[in-house]
Each structure stands twice: as C-alpha cells, then as structure tokens.
Amino acid sequence: MRYKAGDPLPGLVKEPVARVQLVRYAGASGDFNPIHFDDEAARSRGLGGVIAHGMLSMGFLGQFVEAAFGPGATRKLEVNFRGMVKLGDVVTCRGRVTEVREAGGRSLAVCEVEAVNPEGAVVTQGVAEAWMG
C-alpha cells in the first residue's frame, strides 16, 4: 500500500468487547490478571468492573496497521494507555500518515494512531512505523 504524508488510514471498527474475548486474550497472551475477567477482583481494586487488557487495544491497533499496510509491514508500534476499555465497548481505530521517510532504499510511513471508545475518548494512542513495499 502506498500512502503520502497527510493521508488518513482506513478505519477499523471492532466488535463490542465481550468477556469471552478477555478470557481468550488472557489465555493467548498469558496475562491472567483477574481484573480482566473477574468483576469482584476488579471492584476490590477500585474499578467499576472488569476492564480489557491494555494490550488488547494495542492488538487492535496492530490489526489496524497491518490491515492498512499489509501483514508483516509493521516496523514499530508504540502506544500510551490513556483510558480503560470496558465490557461492551466498541473500539474504533483510526490514524493518519504524518511523514514518509526513505530508509535503506525502502519507504517507511510514520503514522499517528489511536483507539477510541464509544464516548469518543482516546483510550490508547501512539505512533506506528510501517514499510511500504
């Protein structure tokens, strides 16, 4: 895929986050922190209920970047976790190319990326670098 600086990337709207997804992600990632599947454990730590793994929202952004640029194109993905994703939330990923750089004879797109919750708040935000060809 070829993009130039300023181009938006095709958006990605995920399915609502379900508890079974968090259980699957716990198993697949090895992060068994109970705040991600046990409401009681989450409440005892001051949360309203279970929250998604931050890494799941980063995984959504990884899906978004590789859908835009192709599998294996990601050179770098770095994010800050700014908010929590709750059960039932529909997460939307969006971003745009901020710069295209030449590196070792290849074109590298630098992108701003973010994952947004149903209220429009940015929950996970960062920078991706992806190879174009």
Partner 1 sequence: MPGRITPEIAALKGRRHGPYRVTVEAGAIRRFADAIGDPSPAYRGENPLAPPTFPTTFRPEGPYPDVPADFGDVGLHASQAYEFERPLRAGDVLDVSFTVTDVYEKSGRSGDLVFIERAYEFLDAGTGARVGGGRWVSLRRFNPEGWPVD
Residues at the contact surface with partner 1, assessed by CB under 8 A: 14-15, 21, 24-25, 27-31, 33, 35, 45-48, 53-56, 58-60, 62-63, 65-67, 71-81, 126, 129
Q: With respect to partner 1, which residue has the nearer C-beta, 7 or 131?
A: 131
Task: Give the nearer residue to partner 1 in terms of CB position, either 59 or 95.
Answer: 59
**CA 11 from chain center: how many Å?**
12
Report in angstroms how near the CB of residue 49 gets to partner 1 at its nearest.
11
Least distance (Å) between residue 29 CB and partner 1: 5
Q: Give the separation between CA 75 and CA 116, rounded to whole angstroms.
A: 23
For 16, 51, 63, 106, the CA distances from 112, given in Å and listed in that order, are 23, 24, 15, 20
Q: Which is nearer to partner 1, 31 or 112 (CB)?
A: 31
Nearer to partner 1, 33 or 98 (CB): 33
Minimum distance, C-beta of residue 109 to partner 1, in the bound complex (Å): 14
Describe the crossing of helices 54-69 and 19-29 by its angle, rounded to 10 degrees. 80
Strand, coil or helix: what is 130? strand
Residue with tokens 């939330």: 89
